[in-house]
Structure 1
């Protein structure tokens, strides 16, 4: 597996979410519809760690589901 391009978070001061760079990595893959195991494999982390990141993403985006988090991310232009 080659390294994937990282989604660059908005510059400091313009990101209203407070997502970390790793949370952006997870969010990018989450938006592609990947389950935790595949996200873990892509990022070389454990599925449990992905679960923690997903939980934090949901909290920071005020979402209750992965789909809702992705929709909020698109609305906030976090995935462009």
Structure 2
């Protein structure tokens, strides 16, 4: 859509205004563990903790702990916000749509 220049200007403005957390800088992929990235991918598909657990062969409680860690690391208040933040940071790619 050609919004990259606008995003860069907004990011620069946020940095200059100290509206961002400096610890959040750097490479976005390094923030999450490999398992958390797996959980995030399934979270982006709208899966519940139980379904995430089934897909990854872990308990629903362990999936819940991973989701909580993801929310904390991405400074997100909800699962939906975490997915949105992850998309913005390039941590997960949008699912291809079939037409």
TM-score class, shorter-chain normalisation, is 0.7 to 0.9
Unaligned runs of 5+ in 1: 1-12
Distance 1:31 1:79 in 2: 8
Tell me the residue number matched to 1:6. none
Task: Provide the TM-score with structure 2 as the length reference.
Answer: 0.65
Distance 1:57 1:14, change over 3 A: same
- RMSD between aligned residues: 1.4
Asked whether the equivalents of residues 17 and 61 of structure 1 are also in contact (C-alpha less than 8 Å), the reply is no
Contact preservation (8 Å) 1:31, 1:70: yes
Higher-Rg member (1/2) = 2
- Supply the distance in 2 between the matched residues of 1:37 and 1:73 (Cα, whole angstroms): 21
**Distance (whole Å) between structure 2 residues aligned to residue 16 and residue 23 of structure 1:** 10
Q: Which runs of 4+ in 1 moved over 4 A?
A: none
CA contact (8 A) 1:61 1:69 kept: yes
For 1:33 and 1:17, the matched residues in 2 are separated by 23
Aligned length: 68
- Structure with bigger helix share is 2
Secondary structure at the residue paired with 2:28?
A: coil
Q: 1 or 2 for the larger relative contact order (CA 8 Å, sep ≥6)?
A: 1
Tell me whether 34-43 or 16-25 shows the greater mean CA deviation: 16-25
Q: CA deviation at 1:57?
A: 0.1
